Each structure stands twice: as C-alpha cells, then as structure tokens.
Amino acid sequence: MSARLTAREITLRYGERVVSTRLSLDVPDGAFTAIVGPNACGKSTLLRALVRLLRPESGHVELDGREVGGYASKALAKQLGFLPQDPLAPDDIKVRQLVSRGRFPHQSLLALWSAQDEEAVAEAMASAGVADLGDRPVQELSGGQRQRVWMAMVLAQRTPYLLLDEPTSFLDITHQYQLLGLLARLRDEGRTVIAVLHDINQACRYADHLVAMRDGRVVAEGVPKDVVDAALIKDVFELPSVIVPDPVTGTPMVVPTLQGE
Amino acid sequence: MNHTLGLRVERRTAVLVVVMVALMLCLALLGLCYGASWASPGKVFAVLTGAERSVVISDWRLPRVLAGLVFGAALGVAGALFQNLTRNPMGSPDVIGLDAGAYTGALIAITVLSGTSAQLATGSVLGGLLVAAAIYLLAFERGFSGLRLVVIGIAVNAMVTAVNSWIVLRAELEVAIAAVGWSAGSLNGVGWGDLGIPFAIIALLLILMTTRAHAMHQASLGDAVAATTGVALNRLRLLMVLVGVGCTATVTAVAGPIAFIALAAPQIGRRLAGAAGVPLLPAALTGAVLLQGADLLAQMLLAPVALPVGVVSTAIGGCYLIWLLTKEVRRA
C-alpha cells in the first residue's frame, strides 16, 4: 500500500484545547478512506490538518514527501480538493458561477477562463447531477441540491485527492447513496477519496480503508471487514451491538442491541 | 455569458456599466453647466475642446466634477473591499471608523503642524492605518470574524469621533472653524492643485486591486474553501486593507470624511448588477454617480449657499441605512 499523503506524529490544537497528540496516518493512494467516530473525536480536525487549514503544532503532514506547508497555494489546490461541512455561498450566486469557482487554482491573471475550464465545469455538474440547475440562484435550492452543487465545485477543481467533511449530511437517503456511489466511481477512475462519514454502515459498505477515531486517536484502521467487530463499536461509540453481514454487499453491518434509553 | 478576452462578463453587468457611464457623463456635464451663472452645454463643450476660454468652467467646475467622480469611485471601492473582508454590508470604512481616523490624522496635521497638503495626506493615511490596526488587534481573537470586526469598529468610530471633537475644541478659533467646515466632507473650493497626487495614488491603488479582484471573489466562498482552492488569504487581506485605507484616507485628506458613499454604493451596485458577492466595478461606478449627484444637490439645495456634500450624502445614506436595517431585521 503506497501513500502519497501522510500525517506523521501530528499534534493538533484549537487554542488551548488539544485535539490530537502525535497522530499518524497514511492515506492509501487510489482508495476510498472513510473516517468514523463519535462527535468531537477529532475527525474534522484531522481532515483540516491534511488540507493545511490547520497547522500542526508538531509533526508533519506531507504530500509526496514534502511538507504541505511548503507548497504554493495554487499548487496544493491542484492536488487536494476539500469540501467543508458548512461552506459559504456569496449572496445571489448562481449554480454555474459557484461550480466555476472550483477552477480558481487553474487560472491566472492572464488566463482567466479557458475551454478546459468550461469542459471541467460541465463535466462536474453532470457528475454531481446538477447540470439542469445551472442558472438557479444557490440560495433558492434545497439543502440536498446545495450539497451537490458544492460537490460539483470541488469536482471542477479536478484534483487527484478529494477530502470531504460529512458530505452526506443534509441529503435524503437516496441522495446519500447516490453521492457515495459517485465517490466510489471517482475512486474507480483513480482518485483518492477521504471522507468523514457519520453512518458506520455506509462507511463499511463503500470504504476500502476505514479509520476509526476516538478522543483524537486512531483506534483502528484497515479494511472494514477486518477491523469492524462488536468490541470496536463498543470501544469507539460506546454502543452495544451485533455485527451481521450486509445482505446486499456482505460488508459488516452494525445492528445496535440498545433499546429504549 | 460572453467570453471575451478570457473574461466572463455577465450581460447585466455590461448593461450596468454602459448605463452608469452615461449617467456619470450626464452628471458631469450638469456639474460643468451649473453654478452661480448657468453655462450652456455648447459653451461647456467649446471650453473643453479649447475653442473658448472660461476660468470658471476649466479651473473651478472641472476639477470639482472630476473630484466628485474619482473620489466617489475610490470610496465605492473602499466600501466594497471592507464589505468583502468583513462579509457584512455594514462593514464599510466610514462605519468602522477609518474615515474618522483619517480625519484625526488630518486634524493633527492642521492643528499641530502647518497643514500643508503633503502633511494632510500623510496624516490621513497614518490615522486610517492606525485605526485599522487597532480594530484588527481588538477584533482578532483566535481567528478572523467579520461581525466582531464591525461591532468593534463601530465602538472605535465613536471614540475616535470624540477625540476629533476634542481636538477641534482645543484648537485656535480660525483653525477650528476651518476644520469644522471640512468635517462633514466637502468638495467646495477643490482646485487642480489639490488633485494631482491624490488622483495618482487612487489610480495606482485601483489598478493594484484589479489584479487581485479574482482572488477577492474567491475569498467570498469562506476561509476554508478559499484557502483550499488556492487563495493566499493573509496576503490578500493585507492588500485589501491597505488599498481600502489608502483610498479612504486619500479622499479624506482632500475632501474630509464624506460619509455613507462607501457604505451604500457597493450594495446598490451589487443589486443593480445582479452579481454574486460584492464586486468592485459596480461599486466604483455607483460611488462615482452617487458622490457627483450628491455634490450637485449640495450646490443646488440652498443655492447660492453651497452645502458640504457630506450633508447630502449622509441624508441619502441615512435613508439607505434605514432600508437596509429593516430588510435585514425582516430576514432575521
């Protein structure tokens, strides 16, 4: 398993609050990695450190053996695409305009808009299923549509890496599976996908590599079939459960045994 | 969408530019015709082309009209920059105290020093930058928050305004009268001699900012997306602050703190253009039209007494502010 993107013994903190201490992670190339864990376990913080939004207090995040902090902004943005949990749309922006913003790292003062940009935007909108929303104002869309528009923006960036912070929140169940299917397809096409996911069963079904976190530490990682058992779920989520094979895919499926309070 | 010269120009923005430029030319012509004695447009054109001579038109009215347009554009851009920085329609230099700070610098230049135009300009820029730095330090607490910056800016504005009153009260009577007349923001008596350096500075700042406008729009997607799509945010913010303060202070040094143009122009321009975010070009054009229009009104309302343009712009801005607040309250 090769890994271009790695975290080596990173310590992460927000102000006084230490989130992770000496955490290490290799992100397997070309795979779908899902990060799971209870609320406030440091999943999002880890993701933000990987895309250089948060500088580790100590340790290194490296891409191709080079510290991400050493990359020029646009050079890094051509490698790592990131979708935060609550992205901010400017007032009155239309869908196509927002998706076009994903082309920013590929543009310069002398080359503001190219045929390649046009093509990337059209393709991204088709992939995310928002091709027919192009002229609609983003603020008039439903939460689910908006999420797919943002997804299209990140796709338009055409990065080998996609890092997504809870991309399925705000989506109804059908759109959740459509989005996960899209991510799996992008992985098949050679991209590396890293997503923080809330639903452990979805993570088991779609991820090649599962990273389970608790209290800022990586508790277990590996192929879901190998790492997910009742003991791990108890350890990570404090939830008693039985693990059965998913009737459709055969991947582990967590069925809580907890009833009532 | 047209793709000329690699630029994406929205059709509605293009229409707005044409309309606004036409409006600017009309207001400019009106400004050249209007005065103690009315000059016909024919005479104005004759003077402009050099066929006739008129000191009143070419040395009194023309510099004033150009100052109205250029300063209006500079204030509009400064407002758009700070509204982008703070992501808040209230976050404009006049509201958060930068005008007042620049005015403090200018007051000190007049009352303590001899008040030459170079001292005025330097004092204004230093005053504006100091206030900007103070607000930034006070507002910066574990990251950057636009709303916190606006609220602290409003408080700083009140304090700096109090300092300005105190300076005026302590000044010699003649100096105080001059300072007060100028405190509302006025283009009365602006001549060619006042304009060369300010116009050059404003042109330089606007060209500099134009090269980074694309990154500024990208930054309106929020810090996380802006950074991960390749915007060097800290450098961009520093440039936006410097250009915004530079434009505000340069105008203040010549014309005093003209309020509300920077607040209203970017938002009116953005709505007229139907554009996303707070773009610079509509803000500049709307600012130019607003200030020139306000200056004409200031000259006409109590003619032959010329009011300071700041009185009119404050009245226009007050109406705008009431409208904005009721709209925001309804939305919230």
Predicted confidence at residue B7, as pLDDT, reads 45
Option in A89, A112, A157 nearest B229 (CB): A157
| Crossing angle of helices A115-127 and A143-156, rounded to 10° | 140
Task: Pick the residue from chain A with its C-alpha nearest to B6.
Answer: A113
What is the Cα–Cα distance from B87 to A35, expressed in whole angstroms? 32
- In this complex, is the C-beta atom of A157 within 8 Å of any C-beta atom belonging to chain B? yes
Place of tokens 């630029």: B7
Please report, in tens digits, the pLDDT of each residue of chain B (332 residues total): 333 333 455 778 888 999 999 999 999 999 999 988 888 999 999 999 988 888 888 889 999 999 999 999 999 999 999 999 988 888 899 899 999 999 999 999 888 887 777 888 889 999 999 999 999 888 877 667 788 888 999 999 999 999 998 998 888 888 888 777 778 888 988 889 889 989 999 999 999 999 999 999 999 999 999 999 999 999 999 999 999 999 999 999 899 889 899 999 999 999 888 888 899 999 999 999 999 999 999 999 887 888 889 889 988 888 888 887 787 667 65
Residue B231 with chain A: CB contacts under 8 Å: 73, 104
Residues near A244 by Cβ (< 8 Å), separated by ≥ 6?
Answer: A252, A253, A255
pTM of the predicted protein model: 0.89
Share of chain A above pLDDT 70, in %: 100
- In this complex, is the C-beta atom of A91 within 8 Å of any C-beta atom belonging to chain B? yes
How many CA within 13 A on the CB side of residue A234? 9
Residues near A32 by Cβ (< 8 Å), separated by ≥ 6?
Answer: A183, A184, A187, A193, A195, A206, A207, A208, A209
- In this complex, is the C-beta atom of B275 within 8 Å of any C-beta atom belonging to chain A? yes
> A213-234: buried (b, 16+ CB within 10 Å) or exposed (e) per residue?
bbebebbbbeebeebbbbebbe
Option in A14, A90, A94 nearest B221 (CB): A90
Task: Pick the residue from chain A with its C-alpha nearest to B141.
Answer: A15
Catalogue all structural domains in chain B, each as residue range(s) with its CATH number.
2-331 (1.10.3470.10)
Distance from CA of A221 to the nearest CA of B (A): 26
Residue A49 with chain B: CB contacts under 8 Å: none
Q: Is there a contact between B230 and A48 if contact means CB atoms under 8 Å apart?
A: no
- In this complex, is the C-beta atom of B274 within 8 Å of any C-beta atom belonging to chain A? yes
Residues near B167 by Cβ (< 8 Å), separated by ≥ 6?
Answer: B104, B107, B108, B111, B179
What is the Cα–Cα distance from A104 to A165, expressed in whole angstroms? 21
Concatenate the DSSP letters of all residues of B108-169 into one string. Answer: HHHHTS---HHHHHHHHHHHHHHHHHHHHHHH-SSS--HHHHHHHHHHHHHHHHHHHHHHHH
Residue A110 with chain B: CB contacts under 8 Å: 6
Predicted confidence at residue B53, as pLDDT, reads 87
Q: Which of residues 139-178 of B touch A (CB under 8 A)?
A: 142
- In this complex, is the C-beta atom of B207 within 8 Å of any C-beta atom belonging to chain A? no
| Cβ atoms within 10 Å, residue B207 | 9
Residue B222 with chain A: CB contacts under 8 Å: 84, 87-88
Mutate to test the interface with B, among A51, A91, A108, A157 (most CBs of B within 10 A): A91
Q: Is there a contact between A113 and B217 if contact means CB atoms under 8 Å apart?
A: no
